[in-house]
Amino acid sequence: MLALTVALAVVVGLALGLLGGGGSILLVPLLVYVAGMPTAQAITTSLVVIGVTAGVGVAGHARARRVRWRTGFVFGLAGVVGAVAGGLIGGHLPGQLLMVAFAVLMVATALAMLRGRRPGAPTAAPERPPLGRLLGIGAAVGLVTGLLGAGGGFLIVPALTLLAGLPMTAAVGTSLLVITLNSAAGLAGHLTGVPIDWPLAAAVTAAAVLGSVVGARLLGRIPADALRRGFGWFVLAMGALVLALQAPAGWHLPALLGAATATAGVGACWAFVPRCPLRHTGGRGAGMARAA
């Protein structure tokens, strides 16, 4: 199981380096179901792995000038404040309700990424997004992160892309900076009460770092629209899976089949229906319009 865990950790790092998110969504289930860790220990270990991997990834993206430092620090600091408030509120809400809300938010975020910006929206990304907007968006994402106990890059990248106006490549690099800050803040609170298997954490971290280096190298070779859509499909599939797993006992398989059918329907709409709402911008319809 150790070899399988380390091998799959490369995929986690690849997702972080290429998409700027998805690490915690993949790593916590990996540590729980493959490595056999208790949930609390898996969450703490994931903070170590994701924090170090994201930090190394920031260095690579910075060399390629894909990190907006001011945006990342302002967004990250505001997110820490929001996460504290979300954590206080989330402790009083049922766990299943939070997981359902988490899955619904993932699906909504994925659909927003697939649609892209509205027609007529400015395509040029501001080098310095307004400070007030960054603080507001960062605090809102942090609130959701603290409330639901997850939601690093899968929320940060869409927020930076759709709301702050960053191009996808810059959003990926800047997201890793924010994830590094958030992971360090979260780890400080977890280390006092949860032990870590440091040899396993070191092996998983090394594999994840390797994957992130590969992902960062691939990022510059993939068109931004294709990357955005790939991110959207990834989050949509994960959201559908999480939502299906919240079904009552005995209904998991039908729920998984229903989620898979719904996801396939969304894909068919985007691929084959000319007036599908998902083909808003950046898709084939927009490309055909430009060609005309």
* Structure confidence at residue 206 as a pLDDT band (50, 70, 90): very high
Note the pLDDT of residue 278: 63
Say if CB 30 and CB 228 are below 8 A apart: no
Q: What is the domain count for the chain? A: 1
Read off the pLDDT of each residue in 41-54 and give the average, rounded to a whole number. 86
Note the pLDDT of residue 288: 34
- What is the spatial distance between Cα 292 and Cα 286, in angstroms, rounded to a whole number? 10
- Provide the 3-class DSSP secondary structure of residue 162: helix
Q: Report the candidate in 264, 223, 219, 212 with the shortest Cα–Cα distance to residue 240.
A: 264
- What is the spatial distance between Cα 117 and Cα 134, in angstroms, rounded to a whole number? 18
Note the pLDDT of residue 80: 83
Inform me whether the pLDDT recorded for 207 exceeds 90. Answer: yes
How does DSSP classify residue 266? Answer: H
Q: Which range has the worst mean pLDDT, 104-108, 173-177, 225-229, 282-286?
A: 282-286
Record the tokens describing residue 18, joined without a space: 């290429």
Note the pLDDT of residue 122: 47
Note the pLDDT of residue 161: 85
How does DSSP classify residue 281? Answer: S
Read off the pLDDT of each residue in 159-182 and give the average, rounded to a whole number. 86
Read off the pLDDT of each residue in 192-211 and give the average, rounded to a whole number. 88
Q: Which domain holds residue 103?
A: 2-291
DSSP-assigned states of every residue in 31-78: IIIIS---HHHHHHHHHHHHHHHHHHHHHHHHHTT---HHHHHHHHHH
Note the pLDDT of residue 117: 54
Q: Which residue has the higher pLDDT, 249 or 31?
A: 31
Radius of gyration of the chain from Cα atoms?
Answer: 19
Q: Report the candidate in 145, 146, 140, 180 with the shortest Cα–Cα distance to residue 50.
A: 180
Note the pLDDT of residue 221: 80
Note the pLDDT of residue 172: 86
Instruction: Provide the H-helix boundaries in the chain.
Output: 2-19, 23-29, 39-63, 69-90, 95-115, 131-148, 153-158, 168-190, 198-219, 224-245, 252-272, 284-291
Read off the pLDDT of each residue in 217-225 and give the average, rounded to a whole number. 78
* Structure confidence at residue 151 as a pLDDT band (50, 70, 90): low
Q: Which residue has the higher pLDDT, 65 or 110?
A: 65
80-135 pLDDT tens trace: 888 778 767 766 777 677 777 777 877 887 777 777 655 444 444 555 678 888 88
Note the pLDDT of residue 286: 40
Read off the pLDDT of each residue in 254-258 and give the average, rounded to a whole number. 79
* Structure confidence at residue 71 as a pLDDT band (50, 70, 90): very high
